[in-house]
Amino acid sequence: AQSVSQHNHHVILSEAASLELGCNYSYGGTVNLFWYVQYPGQHLQLLLKYFSGDPLVKGIKGFEAEFIKSKFSFNLRKPSVQWSDTAEYFCAVIPFSGGYNKLIFGAGTRLAVHP
């Protein structure tokens, strides 16, 4: 079955620390890849997306992610986190296995950034 694994369920960082959140998916075909963020009390928002082309994609608020096809990975990075980055982060995949755009989400990583 197609699935998405996020390696860290909870991450605690101090401001200015670097962030890397792992994401791996299980599907051998073409995929679209996403990172969504859910700030406390808010709806899911798109951080960044990969459809094709340059495997290093940049998103909003200084986030970036790298698609490594051989590793089925799409890790999220930020060089220096801020307190306002405290949120839950979800990796998601659309596997093109017959059509349509069903998102498959990982379980999420809850990030807490301390001042």
Q: Considering the complex, what minimum distance in angstroms separates the CB of residue 16 from other proteins?
A: 28
From 11-19, 59-67, 69-77, 95-103, give the range in contact with other proteins by CB under 8 A: 95-103
- Identified binder of other proteins from the candidate list 44, 62, 72, 86, rule CB under 8 A: 44
Residue type, position 94, single letter = I
- Identified binder of other proteins from the candidate list 76, 85, 106, 113, rule CB under 8 A: 106
CA 100 to mean position of chain CA atoms:
21
Rounded-to-integer distance, Cα 41 and Cα 20, Å? 24
Rounded-to-integer distance, Cα 90 and Cα 52, Å? 20
- Identified binder of other proteins from the candidate list 61, 69, 71, 102, rule CB under 8 A: 102
Contact yes or no for 47/61 (Cβ under 8 A): yes
* Residue 58 within binding range of other proteins, rule CB under 8 A: no
* Residue 100 within binding range of other proteins, rule CB under 8 A: yes
Rounded-to-integer distance, Cα 15 and Cα 86, Å? 10
